[in-house]
Amino acid sequence: MPSHDVLVIGAGLAGQRAALAAAEQGVSVGIVSKVHPVRSHSNAAQGGINAALNPEDTWESHAYDTVKGSDYLGDQDAIEVMCREAPDEILYLEHLGVTFHRNEEGKLGTRAFGGASAARTYYVADITGQAIMHVLYEQLMKYSEQITRYEEWFCSSLAIDEKGECCGVVTRNVADGSMQLFGAKSVILATGGDGQIWKPTTNALICTGDGIAMAYRAGAKLMDMEMIQYHPTTLAGKGFLITEGARGEGAHLLNKNGERFMERDAPNKMELASRDVVSRAEQTEINEGRGFPDGTVALDITVVPKKRIHEALREIVLVGRDFAGVDITREPIHIKPGNHYTMGGVKTDSEGRTDIPGLYAAGETACVSVHGGNRLGANSLLDTLIFGKHSGRDAAARALRTDWSKPSEKVLEDEQNLIDDINGREKGSGRRVSEIKLELGQTMDKHIAVFRDEAGITEALETVRRLKEEAKSAYIDDHGSVFNQDLMGAIELTYMLDCAECSCAAALERKESRGAQTRTDYPERNDEEWLKHIDLERTEDGPEISYSEVTITQWQPEARTY
């Protein structure tokens, strides 16, 4: 049985950073990823990474912006950790070789981003996530003696010992279908978000909530699952992302009458208000008939100098050209709010520890919570790196003081039985996996989106529960061992349905409007009753809801204007 002191599941930014941090402590590390690490979705983070590195800027200012952006649902102790450590993390990345943009003096240069009171976003053109992730992957290769990479291994469940501690995982080698039990003293879940529950979404096809669902099934609490970010600038229909960097560089949002409608909702910050604010404003324009007939508004990037567009927004030039047939240097592009990010996730503390000893979570999988009700642009990369690092260190420290606990073969048997069951379903006996996935995506995008109400959320929850039943008999075509994506899709669908059920249940529970949760039936923020986290714990009858306190250190809730 392959065993590592620390086993990291997922090899995006959070996973790779955790692996490097753990390896620095001298423990043996394994990193398991269902796709090759450089295919991970951290690639998609275009705009940049926030840090108060400039001498005129302060981490307190960054923290305040984050707290305000979160609509006061973020835990301020965790936010302080993230913002305080951000500058050193940027320098760490720079020293590793990230090709950050420089100013004329050859020092690190910044761009402006949404919801921020200073230009503190560091970037590599508009491929920041990709550039950082490829550099971290370089380091994984460099330290291949300490870090074993399991590339294209699918992790499907966690092994918990009789003491209730996490001691390993069950994996499937995608290349040949062989099943393997891995032993570990600490397991870090860094499998990203669950955006595939929505259709359309900016998220990649691999973002199916694997880690969130595995932790939930093992008994860990989830938190704030109703907080789903709709990004203000995505391509209609296809869901492709247009970076917030475009607005950071000065692009305007216009309705069909050519009006800069952000004047109404955010007269000071205009297009650079928090994402929830901008998405609501856009959706209001569209709903009230001031959008274009295709249900969009326009993003006008032509106001940015051409040279600057090519230097700093090149990826968007390509996205516009290849996926919308629009030359963004010459004409506005049609966009709308689209599913983008899961603020909620596996409940952890600032060291990435979940409720289950030995089990950690970091990045979009986790809810620390630094994003609360709404994540600021360019804070997600930072979240992955800072809490990836903390998880890796703490997981290594735990490994050094913990004895081996051998995972039971029964977990492996259960998993094999599940796969045999899926393989045994006859064609036509139930629905196709893809049909269920499509219905789920459309349902969630209709009801758990920018504006929500009780009737819609209830309908979504009922649909999800029906789909969960249907998924039990859903059939697949591929019964082979080699690269069986069909089978993995069937397992991923069950992860997605668990996550979706939690998001619906939490959205129904929170009877107020805060951050990304806008209830048209409860339009106001209600600090007296709802300044608290919603925790979800798995039971046979669905998630059981409890509450936990929001940690407030120095910033009391106040009215939120931009």
Of 290 and 465, which CB lies nearer to another protein in the complex structure? 290
How many angstroms separate the CA atoms of 359 and 380, rounded?
21
Question: Which of residues 73 and 335 has its CB atom nearest to another protein in the complex?
Answer: 335
CA distances from 527 to 73, 530, 549 (A): 10, 5, 12
DSSP code of 376? P
CB of 276: closest distance to another protein in angstroms? 23
Give DSSP secondary structure letters for 249-311.
TT-EEE-TT---THHHH-TTTGGGS-HHHHHHHHHHHHHTT-SBTTTBEEEE-TTS-HHHHHH
Q: Which amino acid is at 403?
A: D
Q: Where are the alpha helices (DSSP H) in 472-532?
A: 485-509, 527-530
Shortest gap between Cβ of 100 and another protein (angstroms)? 7
* Degrees, nearest 5: CA angle 210-204-471: 50
Omega before residue 200 within 30° of 0, cis: yes
Q: How far apart are CA 230 and CA 377, in angstroms?
A: 12
Closest alpha carbon to 194 in 22, 448, 416: 448
Exposed, middle or buried, 524 (CB in 10 Å: 0-12/13-18/19+)?
exposed
| CB 266, min distance to another protein, A | 26
57: CB partners within 8 A, 6+ apart: 118, 120
Cβ neighbours, 10 Å, residue 323: 12
Least distance (Å) from another protein to the CB of residue 108? Answer: 5
How far does Cα 207 stand from its chain's mean position?
A: 8
Question: Comparing C-alpha atoms, which of 130, 242, 239 is closest to residue 195?
Answer: 239
Q: Between 294 and 521, whose beta carbon lies closer to another protein? A: 294
Q: Which of 546, 452, 466, 464 is nearest to 508 (CA)?
A: 452
Closest to another protein by CB, 264 vs 330, is 330
To another protein, the closest distance from the beta carbon of 557 in angstroms equals 36
Is the CB of 107 or the CB of 511 nearer to another protein? 107
Catalytic hit among 275, 452, 514, 525: 275
The least CB distance from residue 129 to another protein, in Å, is 9
Q: Which is nearer to another protein, 64 or 292 (CB)?
A: 292
Burial class (CB in 10 A: 0-12, 13-18, 19+), 420: exposed
CB of 484 to another protein, least distance (A): 8
Q: Toward another protein, which CB reaches closer, 44 or 112?
A: 44
- φ/ψ region of 302 (left if φ > 0, alpha if ψ in -120 to 50, else beta) reads alpha
- Active-site residue flag, 393: no
CB 102, min distance to another protein, A: 4
Residue among 292, 304, 231, 297 at smallest CA distance from 261? 297
Q: How far is the CB of 54 from another protein (least distance, A)?
A: 11
Instruction: In whole angstroms, give the CA distance from residue 76 to residue 412.
Output: 40
Burial of 428 (0-12, 13-18, 19+ CB in 10 A): exposed
The catalytic residue positions are 275
